[in-house]
Amino acid sequence: MKNPVCWVVLTGISIAFIQQGLPVRSQGESQSDNKQMDNITIRQGETLFLSCSQGDFVTHTAWLNRSSILYAGEDKWSVDPRVSLVTLNQDEFTIKIEDVDLTDEGQYICAVQTSSRPRTTSVHIIVQVPPKIVNLSKDLVVNEGSNVTLMCLANGKPEPAIVWRMISASDDSLSSDNEVLEIPFISRYRAGVYECTAANDIAVDTQTVELTVNFPPSVSDGRDVGVTLGQRGVLLCEADAVPEADFEWYRDDRRIFNGFDGIEIEDDGGLSKLTFFNVSEADYGNYSCVAINKLGSANTSIVLYEIIEPTSSTLLQGPGAVQDGNSGTSTVFTPTCLLLIVLLHLLLKF
């Protein structure tokens, strides 16, 4: 380049004309072309190639970002290390910008000066950014009846649409097309995993929040248990609670502990099991089970009562009586009757 300063001034003037929308042609120059290329949409982080055609008799050529020169011919004016020259020949002038960011958005201009006519090609770069959830509510533990607010904020370009939904819910009653999901007076049935989705044209970001709802225990009504003397007896107590309930067993007012003679107490989640290995006369009575967590307690009572061992006669009679009912009817079947039944079976199969 023989006279860069002069030429830059010249380019500057042409650019000024473009920006004012004045056709350079009206300045008495022979002719000029100002071309607007289609917008280029590119994702953040990608490499952008800017290319414009040259032609014969090109004396000067430059790529500009807004009004600052990136490259003038093969001379790099930009101090940005991401900008580099790809091709410069008779046909094309291509530069690239690596790791494109939002700040690179805007108008880029290729200015070409021939001996007779200046020519510019401008292109608008649009940078897209995949959505990213930047601020999400933490996993939450609340008591039943609280007002719960879940928050999900996301970045991205175009601006992502945010949707909240409860993953475990079969219906869509608990969802929101909003950064904020409000659940007033939360019930235990709305505990679970909630998902925030931030989506735009280019990608989706998804995050989840676990919501735990504490509530005091409720115990299902105890079922009285009948056991024969000397047999094993098991009393069951079932409680629904969050956090999980601790269980206490009482005989009348006396607390019963695991490891008492011939007794075992096993707790497994919401279920407590009191086992008598060998029920004695003294074991029969009224027991109560108390389920406790930090929000409260509930109880139920279970009676362990005696079953008199069936005598040998009742043993024979019991099952025999049932069998009589079956065999009684079967004896009624005559061979013809049986044949009819077999035929009916066959017919029904088809």
Ligand X SMILES: *[C@@H]1O[C@H](CO)[C@@H](O)[C@H](O)[C@H]1NC(C)=O
Secondary structure (3-state) at 256:
strand
State in angstroms the smallest separation of the CB of 134 from ligand X.
Answer: 6
Closest CB to ligand X among 80 and 324? 80
- The whole-angstrom separation of Cα 247 and Cα 274 is 11
State in angstroms the smallest separation of the CB of 216 from ligand X.
Answer: 12
Closest CB to ligand X among 78 and 114? 78
Closest CB to ligand X among 24 and 219? 219
Contact 155, 129 (CB under 8 A): yes
Closest CB to ligand X among 175 and 299? 299
Closest CB to ligand X among 146 and 275? 146
Binding footprint of ligand X on the chain (CB under 6 A) = 38-39, 65-66, 70, 78, 80, 83, 97, 103-104, 124, 126, 135, 146-147, 151, 184, 230, 278, 286, 288, 290, 297, 299, 301, 303
- The whole-angstrom separation of Cα 7 and Cα 1 is 9
Contact 68, 109 (CB under 8 A): no
Provide the CB-side half-sphere exposure for 258 (13 A, CA). Answer: 8
DSSP letters, 147-210, are -EEEEEEEEEESPPEEEEEESS-SSSSSEESSSEEEETT--GGG-EEEEEEEE-SS-EEEEEEE
- The whole-angstrom separation of Cα 62 and Cα 6 is 14
State in angstroms the smallest separation of the CB of 231 from ligand X.
Answer: 8
State in angstroms the smallest separation of the CB of 143 from ligand X.
Answer: 9
Q: Give the distance, in angstroms, between the CA of residue 259 and the centroid of all CA atoms in the same chain.
A: 46
Closest CB to ligand X among 70 and 322? 70
State in angstroms the smallest separation of the CB of 288 from ligand X.
Answer: 5
State in angstroms the smallest separation of the CB of 252 from ligand X.
Answer: 7
